[in-house]
Structure 1
Amino acid sequence: MRVYVNLEDLFNEVETFLATHPQQVFRIGTGELTDSLTLDHITQYSRQLVPFFAHQTNAILELKTKTTNIDNLLDLPHRGRTMVSWSLNPNRLIETEEKKAPALEERLAAARKCQEAGYLLGFHFDPLIYYDGWESDYHDVVEQIFDMVNPDGIGWISLGALRYPAHVDEIIRRRHPESCIVLGELIPGKDGKLRYFRPIREEMFRQMISWIHALAPQVTVYLCMESPEVWQKVYPDPPIASCPLSKILDRAVFPRAR
């Protein structure tokens, strides 16, 4: 594992870039390739990142995690310009596919602490995994979210069905022979990634959106790496038909910054 320590260079580059685009707003995501907070008790990066973004007028930072490693965040002056997001799955999958990661209840308890500290929250169901009983398990997760946190403090919830480059299939089977995720019926998509059949993805998205909006109709829900055709099938009146997704997400978070 490689950890970069030249944060001063990073801050200088980001500050210069933001200053040269004062009329634009930027959502700066982390945690796509690794967990944003796993090593934070060692690196203490959040104690520099959060105050830095608190002073930027046209950017919001998103920290994505599966951990409960939030202690550094709770007393920081964030001014609503850092969003803390959790990747979620049912406990059945956490126990078998996310070994050593905190249980669902622990993640949601950490999210509630961050919300109480004034942070905007995000939740990511990515990957959604299809299996016998997925409906009941994922429905329970949605209900637990809104039992634990105030939906008015959620910036967005993303939905992304399981997908990965074809060559990764062999790596998963070799390194994790006990994993069930490769047992689903996956086919190559137009982007070369293995995916569930489109009707399966659409079914999962429709169900998830209906469960979320039944409890919190105001929460922004978006699809990850799906075509306009899938959006059209999932939403009767797809929001991206009248507004680019980037603008939808901007509107979900920037008005709440202080």
Structure 2
Amino acid sequence: MKIEKIFIEEEARNGEIALSLPKRFPKAQVVYIDNHADIWGRVKKPYLHKRDSLNLFIAHKKGSLVKEAPDAYGISGEPHYYFIHAYNCIYECDYCYLQGYFNSPDLVLFVNHQEIMASMQEIADKTTGNLWFHAGEFSDSLALTHLTNELSFYHDFAKRNSKCFIELRTKSANIKELMKLDPLPNFITSFSLSPKNKIKSHDLKTPSLAARLKAIEKLYKAGHPIGLHFDPVIHTDQFEEEYQELINEVSNIIPLNKVEYISIGVVRFTKDVYSQVKKNYPKTTYFHSELTKGEDGKIRYPRPMRHWILGKIKDMCLKAGAIEKAVYLCMEE
């Protein structure tokens, strides 16, 4: 990861991250600013510019710190929220919705974790029963944790609030900081997995399937709860064989009845993201498949086709030992 400039908000300049990160990237120019929003994303920067270099912003998140998640974001029956601890990702998945969401691929690390957790606590205090807080909506939850040292904050929050489940969504194998923490039943690491050939073709710059499986195995053996996301599923004529092989590989390292939950979802886009994906990756294979715009505005496989795909993979999971109530279809009605 080549960092060209590090922009640090004055409000954050004396914090641990602001003091340590410039030492990690000694060639990067350090610039102190009042507000990251005055610079970041003000001029549209091509998504693929991230291949050459990135700027890094260290900032305080303003406005809404925790947001209600959309329907079918997690297992139904309990409220789901996501908290915003960063913008953008060091990886380059060719279907990633961030390329049509922000005006810039530059990284923003928010450091006001106490304020974020205060918003989470306020929601928890008003909620009866269990609820979920998800990390990873706008960034990968583990990829930079060796730099941000933020996991311990949210781990402590989970320890204090047994009814609050925190999910770290990731494609990373960077579990060093996580392994320093004691396992908690409500502090869950969930890995997005695809067949190895799909990772190679579409999950650019991400850890391989073998590396992710090794990370899952280490965490599971250490007692950390694991979730799985088979998402996004990209249809090919061989998808059944590919996913059967993937499920077999996963089952060899963790029994599926020990997995906290398994979500399954097909590749999908908003109109703006779809336009950017076609521009950035015109040769990617899934544009040979039948994609249509649904009533919700999302571009994805027609409902009968995607439910057939999702049903096939769900059946594979159940036959491999997954608990039915722990398997859900992501972002489906």
Q: Please give the range of the TM-score, normalised by the shorter of the 2 chains.
A: 0.7 to 0.9
1:226 paired with 2:324, answer: no
**Residue 159 of structure 1: SS of its match in structure 2?**
strand
Alpha-carbon shift at residue 217 of structure 1 (Å): 4.1
**Residue 163 of structure 1: SS of its match in structure 2?**
coil
How many residues matched?
226
Gap change, CA 1:54 and 1:158, over 3 Å in 2: same
Structure 2 equivalent of residue 238 of structure 1: none
Distance 2:195 2:184 in 1: 32
Match of 1:89 among 183, 190, 194: 194
1:110 paired with 2:215, answer: yes
Distance 2:253 2:290 in 1: 34
Q: Which runs of 5+ in 1 are unaligned?
A: 228-258
AA partner of residue 20 (structure 1): K
Match of 1:144 among 240, 245, 249: 249
- Bigger drift between 80-89 and 147-156 goes to 147-156
| TM-score normalised according to structure 2 size | 0.65
Gap change, CA 1:148 and 1:78, over 3 Å in 2: closer
Could you say which structure has the larger radius of gyration?
Answer: 2
Match of 1:3 among 91, 104, 109: 109
Distance 1:33 1:82 in 2: 19
Distance 1:194 1:14 in 2: 32
Measured against aligned partners, the alpha-carbon deviations of 1:142-200 in whole angstroms (never above 9, x if no partner) come to 11111111324211100111111123222112112332233321011110111112222
Match of 2:229 among 101, 124, 132: 124
**Residue 60 of structure 1: SS of its match in structure 2?**
strand
Instruction: Detail structure 1 runs of 4+ shifted over 4 Å in the superposition.
Output: none
1:28 paired with 2:149, answer: no
Q: Which runs of 5+ in 2 are unaligned?
A: 1-106
| TM-score normalised according to structure 1 size | 0.83
Percent identity reads 29
Distance 1:179 1:126 in 2: 17
1:46 paired with 2:151, answer: yes
For 1:151-230, list aligned pairs within 5 A.
151-218=256-323, 220-227=326-333
- Bigger drift between 99-108 and 175-184 goes to 175-184
